[in-house]
Structure 1
Amino acid sequence: MSTYVQPVAPTEGRLGHLTPEQTEKLQQFWVRLHDIFDGKTQFDQTAPSSFKGQTRDEDTPATPAPEKKSGGWFGRGKAAEAPKEKAADVVAPAPRFSGADIQKAFWKLTMMDHPDLIILKFIRARKWNLDDAMKMFLNALKWRIVERVDELIELSDSELDEKYPKFIEQMRIGKGYLRGADPLGRPMSVVNTRLHHKSDQPPETIHRFTLHTMECGRLVLGSGSETVIVIFDLSNFGLDNMDWGFVRLFVQCFESYYPETLGVCVVHRAPFVFWGLWKLIQPLLDPVVASKFVFTRNNAELHKVIPRDRLPITHYEGLDDWKYEYVPGTPDENAPMKDLAKKEELLAERHALEAQFESVTREWNKNINGKNSSERDEVAKSLREQYARLTPYVRAKNLYQRLGVAHDGQVTWTYNVKA
């Protein structure tokens, strides 16, 4: 007999469920954003500071310059390199971002989503205070440039492994992976903490692997879903598995850079030694994020949070006869990325749709009346459909595309349920 208690999908402040007052706030945010795009409004042009305790690769300055515009929307060319000098002789200048840089980063972030969906996450995270929401939003876009998030989409597993030693090993051993979704369509990310030892790989590798998993999670969000479930499996957890750098990264990502994305964080089978650490972790959490933590002592309690038919038989006593296995890439799987003519054709089509969406949005904002625009929604649908066709040409295949979970803009999880 199932013990699962299905949660109610939130609708407050979500796309398709906005009140006239909330729609007005959204319109006002777009007016401000367009003023920044157009260079009419001044904003903090400096980059956000990097995560404390994270070691950057030695070829990357502490505050790297933003991408050159000539690199293309999903350009893979290397940015111009500054002459190499001794660290004691020169301090890398802090990058400064223009409105055009922010506009480009925004559309790269949007991918298959309705642009309003992205913006509303930041507005809700700041409780509809537009000043705070805009500051948070701009900081996240600048952070994506500084963190080079695009390379995690554009480079293949083998290319990432070459750049970040032992990158593939993180996937091969199953340290962290995405598997299935709950009845609300929220994909589930499993983190096997017992497999992590901080000294087993460079800090930058686990940093990049974590962000790579976050970006893969966005690709397997089903239509209408906005949040994910994270399961921290603490079975056999010991102090040697603790990594404060990862904890800081996890907290800052869900609080600042992927807001309103964490649905539930399940801490499973936490041993006695964990609770001393939890007293140090909890104060780091925003109260809203902290409220999303659920603690399950055993599999029976886990089954109340995750349906048994979505959990593997092995280890979790679920009903799904499945075991994680890393499927490596093939030499020719990213051949479309080399078809530059087709890529440029599709990118031109994409940019035209982006311009169309902005044009109808500017027209919509001429009358701040709290009414929705069906024309904008139709263009957003075209953006989603077009991104499915563009994907093979601008992003390298990842594990979940190889497994057939994410294909042609659709998300399909299969379960081998045993009675």
Structure 2
Amino acid sequence: MEVSRPSTLNQDCMSLQLLIKTFTYPELHRVLEAWPQNWHKTDKLGRPVNIQLLSRLKLSDVFQATTEDRLLMRAMWVWEELHECRLPACSTAAGSYIGQATVIFDLHNVSVSTFTNVHVRRILSKMANLFSRYYPDYLGRLIIINVPVAFWVVWEMLRPFINDRTQKKIRIHRGNGLEDLLNTIHAEDLPSFLGGRCRCPGGCEHALTGP
């Protein structure tokens, strides 16, 4: 089952795709150790779920392993891989068209210094701009949980880069957002560290489970 590319991807983005096809990222293991993130199963609608554990972020280690530009390239590669591989697999598993993903950001115990870090502020604004320009149709839901007070400073900085349609897909929770998570993802597919019942061997954050 072929997943069609959203109309927002114009000729400019096609040139990016050619660049991304040649992109290699040998530092991936070191980056994932410092910034755990993963695709993990699907939500109730069959959409792939991406979990970003900023709660375990080791900022200095990230930028010892890679650079801002390479993080941006990696982010674009992830969304291209979503289009080329993951969404078609989810569509086949569901028996119907799946064209979007659900993303979870866990900000538990993220410090003020992280939000005010010059690298973080710069790369988040660039990522928000790129995503809003090229990939907004891929987002089904963005659930941000355990939000600290300092987050709102960054949110006000990012909001101008995010179009209104995308903002309506975002839910922000000061607490664990468990009710929202369980309304979106079956408990048996939600990692236990987020309040679900899934306990993948070796940890859900490393399991790469799902279609």
Q: Given the two structures, how large is their TM-score scaled by the length of structure 1?
A: 0.42
Alignment correspondent of 1:183: 44
Alignment correspondent of 1:324: 204
Distance 1:234 1:260 in 2: 24
Alignment correspondent of 1:209: 74
Shift of 1:187: 0.5
Alignment correspondent of 2:15: 142
**Closer, same or farther in 2 for the Cα pair 1:174/1:180, shift >3 Å?**
farther
Distance 1:230 1:188 in 2: 6
Alignment correspondent of 2:183: 304
Give 4+ residue runs of structure 1 displaced > 6 Å after superposition. none
Distance 2:34 2:182 in 1: 25
Distance 2:11 2:81 in 1: 22
**Closer, same or farther in 2 for the Cα pair 1:254/1:304, shift >3 Å?**
same
Matches within 5 A, 1:13-412: 113-114=2-3, 117-118=4-5, 121-122=6-7, 137-145=10-18, 148-152=19-23, 155=24, 160-161=25-26, 166-173=27-34, 175-194=36-55, 195-197=57-59, 199-200=63-64, 201-218=66-83, 219-221=85-87, 222-223=90-91, 224-242=97-115, 243-296=120-173, 297-301=175-179, 302-313=181-192, 315-322=193-200, 323-324=203-204, 326=206, 400=208, 405=210, 411=211
Deviation string 1:242-294 (CA, Å, 9 cap, x unpaired) is 31233234323332222411111111110111112212221221111111111
Secondary structure of 1:294's aligned partner: strand
> Which residue identity does 1:197 align to in structure 2?
L
Distance 2:185 2:204 in 1: 18
Aligned length: 191
Distance 2:184 2:121 in 1: 27
Asked if 1 retains the 8 angstrom alpha-carbon contact of 2:53 and 2:107, the reply is yes
Asked if 2 retains the 8 angstrom alpha-carbon contact of 1:234 and 1:267, the reply is yes
**Closer, same or farther in 2 for the Cα pair 1:209/1:175, shift >3 Å?**
farther
**Closer, same or farther in 2 for the Cα pair 1:212/1:241, shift >3 Å?**
farther
Deviation string 1:153-205 (CA, Å, 9 cap, x unpaired) is xx5xxxx21xxxx3321234552211111121110111112314164432233
**Closer, same or farther in 2 for the Cα pair 1:234/1:277, shift >3 Å?**
same
Instruction: Give percent identity, aligned residues only.
Output: 19
Bigger RCO (CA 8 Å, 6+ sep): 2
Deviation string 1:184-233 (CA, Å, 9 cap, x unpaired) is 11101111123141644322332233233323433222111000011111
Secondary structure of 1:220's aligned partner: helix
Distance 2:101 2:205 in 1: 21
> Which residue identity does 1:234 align to in structure 2?
L
Distance 1:142 1:295 in 2: 34
Q: Which runs of 5+ in 2 are unaligned?
A: 92-96
Secondary structure of 1:263's aligned partner: strand
Distance 1:205 1:138 in 2: 22
Deviation string 1:60-90 (CA, Å, 9 cap, x unpaired) is xxxxxxxxxxxxxxxxxxxxxxxxxxxxxxx
> Which residue identity does 2:44 align to in structure 1?
P
Asked if 2 retains the 8 angstrom alpha-carbon contact of 1:267 and 1:295, the reply is yes
Q: Given the two structures, how large is their TM-score scaled by the length of structure 2?
A: 0.78
Deviation string 1:128-149 (CA, Å, 9 cap, x unpaired) is xxxxxxxx5112112334xx21
**Closer, same or farther in 2 for the Cα pair 1:288/1:237, shift >3 Å?**
same
> Which residue identity does 1:255 align to in structure 2?
S
> Which residue identity does 2:197 align to in structure 1?
L
> Which residue identity does 1:151 align to in structure 2?
T
Secondary structure of 2:104's aligned partner: strand
Distance 1:240 1:178 in 2: 27
Alignment correspondent of 1:8: none
Distance 1:284 1:325 in 2: 29
